[in-house]
Amino acid sequence: MFSAQSNVIVGLEIGTSKVCAVVGEIGAGGAPNIIGVGQARSRGVRKGEISEPELAEEDIRNAIVEAEQMANVEIRNVYLGVTGNHVRGFNNRGVHPVVSADREITDEDVQDVIKNAKAINLPPESGIIHTIRQLFYVDGHHGIPNPVGMFGARMEVDVHVVQGNVNRLKNSIRAVKSLHLEVDEIIFNGLASSLAMLTNEQKELGALVIDMGGGTTEYCVYADGVIKHTGVLAVGGDHISNDLAYGLKVPLGRAEQLKFDHGSALVEESIRGRQIELPGEVGLPAKTINLEHLRRIISLRLAETFLLIEQEIAERGLLDYLRAGVFLCGGCARVPGIQRLLENTFMLTAQLGKMSAISGLSPALDQPEFATGIGLVKIGSLQHKRKTTGGFAENIKKSIAEFFRR
């Protein structure tokens, strides 16, 4: 039996393709050192949400046990990643009059204006997952990161709110709790991945992070150091396999294998006319596949997904802010040629998979599929730092907002 350690943070992603538990140990400086990862093939999740709880629980248990063995610790709590097409991000503004006689803005004023920004009329089944502060206005002057100590009569703040369907979020939480694990906090997968991928400088310059997994694609836009937009599409690499099965008239298993062995996001002139010979197997006749056709199917699905994201970002006027470019993680970052496809779609530089925002990550763990789990550990490590330096709950909430902001 391992011992539980208070300086251990665990991130858990219950993904469509794999369940993944990442274990981080907080070092002396407060930064996490990744000491273990456990993975299990996911069988009870569709489009990022649990559809077969019993299978999901078994897979979670297996991933947790593997992570415990690798890290040599007992896991009791997790930061739980959540996603699904019910998750939405939008911006809201709060207003607050500064009431003190001398009009000096205090910490309480900041709390109040954020509280006002959170007062949103949501449908009864909706719940707020995150309220992330962006920038403040003082008497109409915009772009103020922290107004405490300034003088003014009227204060406003923009926040980015991530909301989801409470019942659907509860399904993930219950699966974790059924294994006698506590949920420290739920975090939107897209935010977690963006924290693993981006440095503060890149957030400041402006960046788009896309996490394209098996059943969902999350994205997150930073501009001027703050989160401006988040979203989820219920499309992932599994849809590419489905398209291939349908388009090439092969069973899904064969389509998946063809994607791994011959897939590319680019259809180059040089492959024109090339054929792939599939040998006959039990119950399956031999078949000839046109490689150009195969790659065109992949390329079309990927381009369509990226274009949907591009349109959404363009509609919000955010494309011109992405000066650090586009960053892709999730298993689909492994598709050959996908970097070029991203660059062609967004007309921006694109980077794949590397977790530049985490120091000391071994190459074995620096894999695009682990971005969510690693980002969850990063968030957890900040929370841990606040708790151990004597912060109260509200301080913790505040700090997480600051963390996303810078």
Q: What does the block give as tokens for 227? A: 């989160």
DSSP letters along 14-48, please? E-SSEEEEEEEEE-TTS-EEEEEEEEEE--SEETT
In the window 353-392, what residues touch ligand ATP (CB under 6 A)?
A: 369
| Distance in Å, CB of 157 to Mg ion, minimum | 31
Closer to ligand ATP by Cβ: residue 48 or 152: 48
Pick the stretch among 122-130, 134-142, 208-216, 265-273 that binds Mg ion (CB under 5 A). Answer: 208-216
Q: Which stretch binds Mg ion (CB under 5 A): 12-20, 101-109, 114-122, 145-153?
A: 12-20
Q: How far is the CB of 329 from Mg ion (least distance, A)?
A: 9
The tokens for 70 are 């690798």
Instruction: Give the DSSP per-residue string, 63-91.
Output: HHHHHHHHHTS---EEEEEE--TT-EEEE
48 binds ligand ATP (CB under 6 A): yes
Q: What are phi and psi of 8, to 5 degrees?
A: -110, 135
| CB proximity list for 305: less than 8 A, separation 6 or greater | 212, 217, 233, 235
- Which of Mg ion, ligand ATP, none is residue 223 near (CB under 5 to 8 Å by kind)? none
Q: What angle do CA 5, 57, 180 make, to 5 degrees?
A: 40
Four-point Cα dihedral 337, 313, 202, 237, nearest 10: -40
Partner whose footprint covers residue 32, from Mg ion, ligand ATP, none (CB < 5 to 8 Å by kind):
none
Q: Which does 331 bind (CB under 5 to 8 A by kind): Mg ion, ligand ATP, none?
A: ligand ATP
Among 334, 365, 366, 399, binds ligand ATP (CB under 6 A): 334
Q: How much of the chain is in helix, strand and coil states, percent to nearest 5?
A: 40, 30, 30
351 binds, among ligand ATP, Mg ion, none (CB under 5 to 8 A by kind): none
Does position 147 interact with ligand ATP (CB under 6 A)? The reply is no
Residue among 213, 215, 237, 353 that touches Mg ion (CB under 5 A): 213
Q: Give the number of C-alpha atoms closer than 13 A to the C-alpha of residue 119, restricted to the C-beta side.
A: 10
Amino acid (1-letter code) at residue 78: V
Residue 15 as a binder of Mg ion (CB under 5 A): the answer is: yes
Neighbours of 300 (CB within 10 A): 15
If the CB atoms of residues 156 and 211 are measured against Mg ion, the closer one turns out to be 211
Smallest distance, Mg ion to C-beta of residue 220, A: 13
Could you say which residues in the range 90-109 bind ligand ATP, by CB under 6 A?
none
Tell me how far apart the alpha carbons of residues 330 and 193 are, in angstroms, rounded to a whole number.
Answer: 9
Q: Which helix (H) or strand (E) holds 209?
A: strand 207-212
The smaller minimum CB distance to ligand ATP, of residues 223 and 232, is found at 232
Query: Counting contacts by CB under 6 A, is residue 190 touching ligand ATP?
Result: no
Q: Which of residues 278-337 bind Mg ion (CB under 5 A)?
A: none
The answer to whether 5 and 359 have CB atoms below 8 angstroms apart is no
Element (H, E) at 382: helix 371-388
Classify residue 78 as exposed, middle or buried by CB count within 10 Å of its CB (0-12, 13-18, 19+): buried
Number of CB atoms found within 10 A of residue 110's CB: 19
By the rule CB under 6 A, 175 interacts with ligand ATP: no
- Give the residue, chosen from 181, 208, 335, 341, that forms a contact with ligand ATP under the rule CB under 6 A: 335
Shortest distance, CB of residue 373 to ligand ATP, whole angstroms? 9
Stretch that binds ligand ATP, among 99-107, 124-132, 258-266, 347-355 (CB under 6 A): 258-266
Q: How many residues bind ligand ATP (CB under 6 A)?
A: 23
Residue (157 or 329) nearer to ligand ATP, CB: 329
Tokens 């992405």: give the residue.
322
3-state SS class at 368: helix
Applying CB under 6 A, does 16 fall inside the site for ligand ATP? yes
Q: Does 373 bind Mg ion (CB under 5 A)?
A: no
Q: Which stretch binds Mg ion (CB under 5 A): 15-23, 27-35, 62-70, 263-271?
A: 15-23
CA distance readout (Å), 241 to 141, 256, 325: 51, 5, 28
* 214 interacts with ligand ATP by CB under 6 A: yes
User: Out of ligand ATP, Mg ion, none, which partner does residue 151 contact, by CB within 5 to 8 A per kind?
Assistant: none
> Which residues bind to Mg ion, rule: CB under 5 A?
15, 213
> Which residues bind to ligand ATP, rule: CB under 6 A?
13, 15-18, 42, 48, 213-216, 236-238, 259-260, 263, 330-332, 334-335, 369
